[in-house]
Amino acid sequence: MVETMKLAMGCDPAAYLFYRKLLERMRGEGYDIVDVGCESENEADGGKYAEIAEIVSNKVIKKECDYGILLCGTGQGMAMAANKIPGIRAVLCYDVLPAVLSKNDNNGNVLCTGAWFMEKKGIDFTLAMIHAWLFSDYTGTHEDGMRALSHLDCKRY
């Protein structure tokens, strides 16, 4: 249920305005959200997305939050940064079906998306995608692949 699910969410300056609208709607629906920023659309980016992605990812890894949601202009930078954190399986989605499959097949624990694309689809569509992702279950059908991914977390190159 929404009431028992705790989410860590963050954005960079490129996604700030859309993120604030999304955050307000999700809180209105009863989600318990830890908002890690950013503080304004005018903030100098300078890699802010990496800092925000790390904070959100660590909250998920430390089990302070059930899942993470990250937004930047395209979602790509957030996904790349979050996936640097061992144990994070950040997924980049712009539509409902890939969001569901990323949970069903790959047990994604951080959803990344791009405000520049989702603004065009609208808040309602974005919420539908997020809901579909949050309430999908990992099916366990790709256990070998999941073990291989976990093994990569331990490697250093």
Q: pLDDT tens, 118-143?
A: 999 999 999 999 999 999 999 888 78
pLDDT for 66-95, tens place per residue? 999 999 999 999 999 999 999 999 999 999
**Rounded CA gap, 12 and 40, in Å?**
8
What pLDDT, on the 0 to 100 scale, is given for residue 2? 60
Mean pLDDT score across all residues of the chain: 92
Domains identified in the chain and CATH numbers: 2-154 (3.40.1400.10)
Q: How many CB atoms lie within 10 A of CB 31?
A: 19
What pLDDT, on the 0 to 100 scale, is given for residue 149? 79
Annotate 70-106 with b (16+ C-beta within 10 A) or e (fewer): bbbbbbebbbebbbebeebbbbbbbebeebbbbbbbe
11 is catalytic: no
Q: Are 12 and 40 in contact (CB under 8 A)?
A: no
pLDDT for 26-47, tens place per residue? 999 999 999 998 877 776 666 7
Active-site entry in 11, 38, 65, 72: 72
